[in-house]
Every structure is written in C-alpha cells, then in structure tokens.
Amino acid sequence: MITRFAPSPTGPLHLGHAYSAILAHDMARKAGGQFLLRIEDIDQSRARTHWEEQIYDDLRWLGLTWDGPALRQSERLNIYRQALETLWEGGFLFPCSCTRRDIEAAASAPQEGAHYGPDGLIYPGTCREAGARAPGQPLPDAVLRLNMDRAARDCEFEEICDLHLGHHALARTALIDTVGDVVLARREMGTSYHLSVVVDDAAQGVTHVTRGADLFEATQIHVLLQKLLELPTPTYCHHDLIRDSDGKRLAKREDARAISKYRAEGATPGDIRRMVGLPPSS
Ligand code: GLU
C-alpha cells in the first residue's frame, strides 16, 4: 500500500489537512506500506517557500513521517508536457482562447443557461470544433481543454472504487453535462491540478488516494484521465469534511483553524487528533 498527502503551499495547513494527512499516514503504517509527500506547487503565483517549510514542520510536529524526499510538482513540468503530448496526439485536447468574460457571456446566453461544474462555469464549447488537432500539428502553447465528449465516449462502464462509498460507475453523461471541457493546461503553468495529480499519483505508485469528499467530482476527471493515459487507477478513500462549529467548510484562508495557530496556543498533537475525531496515535 502506498498513500500520499499532497498539499499546496499556498497557505497554512488547517484541521482538514491534518485529518487527511493523518488518515493517509496511519492507513499506510498500519498496512506496513509507504506514506509519501507531494508538494503541489504548480501555481507559482501563489506558492510560497515559507508555506512549504511550514507544511514540513507541521507534519513532523503531528508525528507524521514520510518515505523519501517530497516530490515537488514545479520540478516536473516537462513530465506533464509529455502527458499533454499524448492526449494531444490522441485528439483529446483543443486550444482555447476564451477569456473568463467570453465564457460567462456564452454560457449565460438565453438558449444556453449557465451551469456550474467542479471548476466553475461549464465550458460552452466555443473553441471546441475550430481547435481540433490537424494531422501533424504540434502541441500548441496555449490554454488546453479536454474534449470531454470525445474523452468520455468509451468510459461508460468504468468504476471508481471507494473504500467508504463503495463502487461508483463513471457516468459518461454526467461528465459531459456536469463537468464539461475542463482545462488541462493553463497558460501560466503549462499544466493543471487535474493533469499533474494524475501523472504524479501514477509516478509515485500511489495505490490509495485519501482526500476530502469535496473532491469526488474531481476524482471522476482523474479516473477518466488515467484511462486516456493508460495509467493505473488507485483505490479512493473520500473522507468527510472537517467543519466549523457552525457547519461551514474550513477553507484554507480561514487561518483561524491553522495547525500553527493551535500549536502557538499550546495544543498537543493529541489535541489535534481529538479535534478531528481521531483516536490517539498508537
Ligand atoms: N493539492 C490538493 C489540495 O490542496 C490536492 C488534493 C488531492 O488531489 O487529493 O487539497
């Protein structure tokens, strides 16, 4: 068993991160497997070295040890490019020149109606046909979207195996209608969260992905990409979300729940475990 924790160094780790990390860590240790760390720092406009240092420090303080050096996504851009090449050759990508405003205008046209998916407004398809790859055309240096209709066509019977939720069929129509043509390469990064996470889970040999239930829709995209790139699909463990006392989801910006803040106030790692509803470490 190989599990991982994959935080983005764009803010402090909060209770929700601690919960996810502890679950993945303890699961691997109990099975005699490995627990890996990956720093998801492709968004260089938001990633900061001091947040990365804080992640290492908080994890160590929590008593979590990871195997091998952390993998840093910012050092793997050429690997993501190769995966994009494969998808481009397969005719699954198209370049998109729409601005956010173009998308909003097209999606809110009366005959369209605006629909939201996991990445915001569902792409109305403006560039899809014109951007189809001509034979021999090299991968363009542009925003690249997945042609979801093409990609999902053959995947109707694939399943997501979830340790808590059981088996979920990957529904083709839901991917087309409620997810749409997601961005796989952003101009400023040359990649995207969805693409990098899929490439790296495979590169690190991750067998079990532990993540919050809020990422379930993203997981469907990831399983589809694994099929297109012929990568293995891990088992997923979507866990419940740690909420505020008033039931609101914890967001990273809510620094009030930062692990570092509890530490500064004198909390122990055991207190953090208790706060997220986990038994003391054995
Ligand atoms: N970097 C993501 C986060 O901050 C990754 C989680 C995942 O893909 O499981 O939550």
Question: CA 211, CA 271: separation in Å to the nearest integer?
Answer: 22
Burial 28-55, CB ≥16 within 10 A → b, else e:
bbeeeebbbbbbbbbbeeebeeebbebb
> pLDDT tier at 94 (50, 70, 90 boundaries)?
very high
pLDDT one-digit tens code per residue, 111-128: 666 788 888 889 999 999
Yes or no: say if 242 and 236 are a contact pair by the CB < 8 Å rule.
Answer: no
> Does ligand 1 have an atom closer than 6 angstroms to the CB of 26?
no
User: Which atom of ligand 1 lies at the shortest distance from residue 222's CA?
Assistant: 8
Indicate whether 157 and 218 sit together in one domain.
Answer: yes
Question: CA 55, CA 15: separation in Å to the nearest integer?
Answer: 13
8, 36, 54: residue to mutate for ligand 1 pocket, most atoms within 8 A of CB: 8
Domain tally for the chain?
Answer: 2
Domain containing residue 235: CATH number: 3.40.50.620
Q: At what angle do helices 216-228 and 193-203 cross, to 10 degrees?
A: 60
> pLDDT tier at 164 (50, 70, 90 boundaries)?
confident
Indicate whether 50 and 97 sit together in one domain.
Answer: no
> Does ligand 1 have an atom closer than 6 angstroms to the CB of 197?
yes
Question: The tokens of 96 are what?
Answer: 């998109």
> Does ligand 1 have an atom closer than 6 angstroms to the CB of 73?
no
Yes or no: say if 132 and 150 are a contact pair by the CB < 8 Å rule.
Answer: no
What pLDDT score was predicted for residue 117?
84
Indicate whether 205 and 127 sit together in one domain.
Answer: yes
* Nearest CA, atom 6, ligand 1: 6
14, 73, 193: residue to mutate for ligand 1 pocket, most atoms within 8 A of CB: 193
Indicate whether 227 and 150 sit together in one domain.
Answer: yes
Query: For residue 209, how far is its CA from the centre of ligand 1 (angstroms)?
Result: 10
Indicate whether 106 and 128 sit together in one domain.
Answer: yes
> pLDDT tier at 82 (50, 70, 90 boundaries)?
very high
User: Which atom of ligand 1 lies at the shortest distance from residue 211's CA?
Assistant: 9
Q: Average pLDDT of 215-220?
A: 90
The H helix count followed by the E strand count for the chain is: 10, 12
Burial 67-84, CB ≥16 within 10 A → b, else e:
eeebbbbbebeeebeebb
> pLDDT tier at 161 (50, 70, 90 boundaries)?
confident
Beta carbons within 8 Å of 53's beta carbon, 6+ residues apart: none
Domain, as residue range, for 5: 1-74+243-282
Q: Give, in order, the Cα–Cα distances in Å from 204 to each of 25, 162, 198.
A: 15, 20, 10
Indicate whether 48 and 96 sit together in one domain.
Answer: no
Question: CA 169, CA 153: separation in Å to the nearest integer?
Answer: 14
Yes or no: say if 236 and 209 are a contact pair by the CB < 8 Å rule.
Answer: yes
Indicate whether 86 and 176 sit together in one domain.
Answer: yes
Query: For residue 43, how far is its CA from the centre of ligand 1 (angstroms)?
Result: 13
Indicate whether 142 and 191 sit together in one domain.
Answer: yes
pLDDT one-digit tens code per residue, 50-62: 999 999 999 999 9
Indicate whether 212 and 247 sit together in one domain.
Answer: no
Query: For residue 245, how far is its CA from the centre of ligand 1 (angstroms)?
Result: 23
Indicate whether 50 and 161 sit together in one domain.
Answer: no
> Does ligand 1 have an atom closer than 6 angstroms to the CB of 211?
yes
Q: At what angle do helices 49-62 and 15-30 cross, to 10 degrees?
A: 50
> Does ligand 1 have an atom closer than 6 angstroms to the CB of 9?
no
